[in-house]
Amino acid sequence: MTGGQGLLAVVAAALLGGPAPPPEAVRPVLTPLPPRLALRAPVRTPLPAAADLGARLVAPATLRDAPGGAVVGRVGPRTEFGSPRVLPVVRRQGPWLAVIATELANGALGWVPASRVRLVREPVRIDVDLSERELRVVEGGRAVLRMTVGIGSAATPTPTGWFAVTDGLRGWGPYGCCIVALSGHQPRLAQGWTGGDRLALHGTHVPATVGAADSLGCLRARSGDMRRLLRLARLGARVHITG
């Protein structure tokens, strides 16, 4: 499988539930960072706090379980959906950066050499409170967007923890207007489900499901809220999901 067909298969397999998209839908729509926030060169010392940093891959890199440790994965400059790959930086140790990546299990960190990335600022964080069915976009310590979301069912609950925004995609069918793909995975797949385990925040063609707990693990929101989220979200933004 090559070209668009291969990417269609990736999208259909990667996200939880729903049919394959039409070819015109498979196109990243979330930019890495707008010019007013992008850093044109690597950050010079003193570096900002790790919570404000993202690592944009400029060359293929190996993920290791510790600085110079065992290989646990490999990442390239682009995601499987074609977006620039920006990984949240969680820690720094000498020339090594600890990052969150899709290639790792939920909650795991991988270490990459700083020479393989360009550091960018990450001013936005996304907080999701499952008990309140609420998502908040936080910038500068202030919530700049609040929205109601649907969550996973009791049998397939939305995983909690720290994740990252990896892609913004046009939606189709049950995904509504748009999709924000996340780095996390659903460890409790529905019985008989043979599709992917990738988590995402997306729209819906049934608005009544927003606020309900009946998804396979993804988060659902109304189209208007999703469009606002896409204007605020950044590739590599941290996503903190709590119960």
Tens digits of per-residue pLDDT, 131-173? 999 999 999 889 999 999 999 999 999 999 999 999 888 877 7
Most confident of 24-28, 45-49, 235-239: 235-239
Residues 141 and 190 in one domain: yes
Q: Tell me which residue of 170, 174, 177 sits closest to 206, measured CA to CA.
A: 174
Cα(85)–Cα(76) distance, integer angstroms: 7
Q: Residue written as tokens 């820690």? A: 91
**Cα→Cα distances 146→129, 133, 136, 143, Å:** 11, 10, 5, 7
Measured in degrees and rounded to the nearest 5, phi and psi for residue 226 equal -65, -40
Residues 134 and 233 in one domain: yes
How confident is the model at residue 45, as a pLDDT? 36
Residues 195 and 100 in one domain: no
Q: Is residue 6 pLDDT above 70, yes or no?
A: no
The 3-state DSSP class for residue 199 equals: strand
Q: Tell me which residue of 111, 217, 122 sits closest to 160, measured CA to CA.
A: 217
Other CB atoms within 10 Å distance of the CB of residue 77: 15
Q: Is residue 103 pLDDT above 60, yes or no?
A: yes
Q: Measure CA 238 to chain center.
A: 8
In a domain, 112, yes or no: yes
Q: Tell me which residue of 197, 195, 199 sits closest to 9, measured CA to CA.
A: 195
What would the pLDDT profile of 40-79 be if each residue is shown by its tens digit? 333 333 444 556 889 999 999 999 999 999 999 999 999 9
How confident is the model at residue 51, as a pLDDT? 65
In a domain, 151, yes or no: yes
- Structural domains counted in the chain: 2
CATH number of the domain that residue 56 is part of: 2.30.30.40
Q: Tell me which residue of 138, 146, 150 sits closest to 221, measured CA to CA.
A: 150
∠ at Cα 12 (71, 181), nearest 5°?
60
How confident is the model at residue 105, as a pLDDT? 94
In a domain, 77, yes or no: yes
How confident is the model at residue 24, as a pLDDT? 45
**Boundary-marking domain end, from 78, 97, 121:** 121
Other CB atoms within 10 Å distance of the CB of residue 134: 15
What would the pLDDT profile of 167-225 be if each residue is shown by its tens digit? 888 877 788 888 899 999 998 887 877 667 889 999 988 888 899 999 889 999 999 99
How confident is the model at residue 112, as a pLDDT? 97
How confident is the model at residue 135, as a pLDDT? 98
How confident is the model at residue 27, as a pLDDT? 43
* Mean pLDDT of all residues in 27-37: 37
Residues 115 and 129 in one domain: no
What would the pLDDT profile of 85-100 be if each residue is shown by its tens digit? 999 999 999 999 999 9
How confident is the model at residue 182, as a pLDDT? 94
Query: 101 in the Ramachandran plot: left (φ > 0), alpha (ψ -120 to 50) or beta?
Result: beta
Residues 134 and 97 in one domain: no
How confident is the model at residue 190, as a pLDDT? 79
Q: Is residue 82 pLDDT above 70, yes or no?
A: yes
Q: Establish how many alpha carbons lie within 13 A of residue 192's alpha carbon, considering only the half-sphere containing its beta carbon.
A: 0
Write out the residue range of the structural domain in which residue 156 sits.
3-31+124-242
